A and B are shown apart, each in its own frame.
Chain A
Amino acid sequence: MAEVRLNAIKKAFGPVEVLHGISLDIASGEFVSLLGASGCGKTTLLRIVAGLESVTSGSVEIGGRDVTALPPEKRDIAMMFQSYALLPHLSVAENVRFPLRMRRIGTLEEQREKVRDALETVQLGHLAERRPNQLSGGQQQRVALARAIVSRPEILLLDEPLSNLDARLREDMQVELIEIHKRLGLTTLFVTHDQEEALSLSDRIVLLNKGAVEQEGGPREIYTHPATGYASGFLGAANLVAAEIFDGAEGPVARLEDGQELNLPVEEKLRGPVTLALRQEDLALSGGEGAGLKGSVRTRVYLGARNRYVIRLGGGEVRILAPHDLEFERGDAVRVTIDPARIRVLSRDERP
């Protein structure tokens, strides 16, 4: 276990700079997610920590030691690859023992003991003698996890390890990862493009956008208080609606492009043209006349437990998650209401 410190990491591939000076501190035992869309540089950053990629400038410290110039084998890390990267010519047990053997950790007997423990941890003790190609994707993934934790590395690096699993297995593995992290307390850096995964697993989320840190913070903080338009768009798939704020009789009022008005909390300080971030699950839908913004149903998507509606509103469109028993048809006139406290107001220049 050790802390990780990234100092102003820059990385360029040829003339293209993909990381623009990223600094990040990860405390010992912390579980940090690098979240971002594909191409944001999150995997490159992880590979830099692993030593598989060099930096153009900046430095990497692990446990207070500058490891920027060290090759991967000289860093006390373990990495789990998206493709698992199990060695096909070795059995499951030999795969898990591999880091112990290469790093010369313990005697043969101790190594076997550790391999047994690690395989028990991921509930694969009975498959120790199989070859990787005889296992299912989920089992291979567990073997890769066992191999990553067996040597108790200072840093555990996970590169989208769950993205090749089907939905059910992915949920199981999320739970397992949380438990293993709690039990072993390994400093963990986790790369994902899946916001739900990041929210459920992490102590802290670092949202990357185009090679720079967009926002970082705890899952709850980053979800409820996205700092920028990009953050609110990425987390929770918020609706971004253009509006203009002026002072009304009872406080600030937002006027949408079609002239409809929405009361905002009195604390709101911004005036003038803004962007409102409205979360899908915060918007409530009702039929007929009543309070709220007027809109009409454009599409309904059946999701099982819920329906997703696309509503024409305020000169644009918003998406709304509604209970499954609420049924509207295309073209129906509806009312959309929202708790003013749940509205996030972003100044225009923050729009992505």
Chain B
Amino acid sequence: MTMTDRAENTLLILPGLVLLVLAFFVPIAQMLVLSVAGENGPTLAHFQRFLSDPYYLNVLWRTVRLSAIITLICALIGFPLAYIMAHVSARARLWLVIMVILPLMTSVVVRTFGWMVLLSRSGLIPEVLRDMGLVGRNFSLMQTETAIVVGMVQVLLPFMTLSILGVVTRIDRRLEEAARTMGCGFLQTLRTVVLPLSAPGIVAGSLLVFTLSASSFVTPNLLGGSRIQVLAASIYRSVTQTLDWPFAAAQAVILFVGILVLLMPYARLSGRTNG
């Protein structure tokens, strides 16, 4: 009965804290330790090997570049979609939400195989393009970066859309009307009023999408094939094929730190818009 609030709070937080440490910090620590493990004590050789090999640098660059493109496309589709969702009736909004999150309800493998069927040489999309005379006989979208982007955008769009939707629905509709009475056309209102006020949602959605796409493995691997490797796939190969665990750990650390560095200014940006 004499327990203070503070002690009580600490006690309550304990189970969560233990879980967090066991499930999150321990593996990361292990990964860090493993990444500098060498035959004669700690070494940075794995990092050196990665950073001096053009092949791996290319993989890293592709991962960052594709993630950025995927994030951008998700934002470009997600913002108008969220705006429309916020402005239709509650019933229509429900259906749109269901449609948007539908891809998340199927297994990633099944969904990706679906794309493989659509994008392969005899698939629907290349065939239509061929019939329209836009591409050559051997055209295929499989095993291209385009395929990775298409597949990933479909998977990650819900994260972006729902992040933005949460913010857009809270924007006072009167603000848009006020902007219209002050000389803004519809698109100008979107740009000068809705977009700036949606920034926290766009930032949050971008953080999610970028992080998820930079660390994703199944979709890029299946749609991009072995020629177009992203970092996560390269890590997977180091673990399962060359059995070089320390090198895999080093790549994982680079991915981890890289995302952290890229996201830091972003996080600060969102902190500022919220405050």
Contacts and interface: CB of A to CB of B under 8 A. Distances in A.
Interface of A: 50-52, 71-73, 77-79, 81, 83, 85, 87-89, 98-99, 102-103, 147, 151, 157
A71 B180 contact: yes
16 contacts: A51-B181, A52-B181, A72-B181, A73-B188, A77-B181, A78-B182, A81-B174, A81-B178, A83-B174, A88-B175, A98-B182, A102-B179, A102-B182, A102-B183, A103-B183, A147-B182
Contacts of A85: 172, 174-175, 177-178
A72 B180 contact: yes
Contacts of A52: 177, 180-181
B43 interface: no
B175 A87 contact: yes
A215 to B, nearest CB: 29
Contact of B181 (A78, A87, A88, A89): A78
Nearest to A147: B182
Contacts of B177: 52, 72, 79, 81, 85
Contacts of B185: 71, 73
Contacts of B174: 81, 83, 85
Contacts of B175: 85, 87-88
B193 A73 contact: no
Nearest to B171: A88
Contacts of B178: 79, 81, 85, 87
A50 B196 contact: no
Given A85-B172, A102-B188, A79 B181 contact: yes
B192 interface: yes
Chief secondary structure at chain B's binding surface: helix
A73 B188 CA distance: 10
Interface in B195-248: 196-197
B184 interface: yes
Q: Which 4 interchain pairs have the tightest Cβ spacing?
A: A102-B183, A85-B178, A103-B183, A99-B182
Interface in B153-198: 172, 174-175, 177-186, 188, 192-193, 196-197
A103 B180 CA distance: 11
B192 A102 contact: yes
A88 B274 CA distance: 11
A54 to B, nearest CB: 13
A157 B182 CA distance: 12
A23 B241 CA distance: 83
A73 B183 contact: yes
Q: Give the bracket for the number of chain B residues in contact with chain A.
A: 10 to 19
A89 B180 contact: no
Contacts of A79: 177-178, 181
A37 to B, nearest CB: 22
A50 B181 CA distance: 7
A87 B180 contact: no
Nearest to B177: A52
Nearest to A88: B197
Nearest to B174: A85
A120 to B, nearest CB: 20
A182 to B, nearest CB: 24
Given A87-B175, A99-B182, A151-B183, 13 more contacts: A52-B177, A52-B180, A72-B177, A73-B180, A73-B182, A73-B183, A73-B188, A79-B178, A81-B174, A83-B174, A87-B193, A88-B197, A102-B179
Nearest to B178: A85
A73 B172 contact: no
A102 B197 contact: no
Interface in B86-119: none
A106 to B, nearest CB: 13
A73 B184 contact: yes
A89 B183 contact: no
Contacts of B196: 89
B132 to A, nearest CB: 38
Contacts of B197: 88-89
Contacts of B192: 98, 102
Nearest to B173: A85
A79 B183 CA distance: 11
Contacts of A50: 181
Interface string B242-261: 00000000000000000000
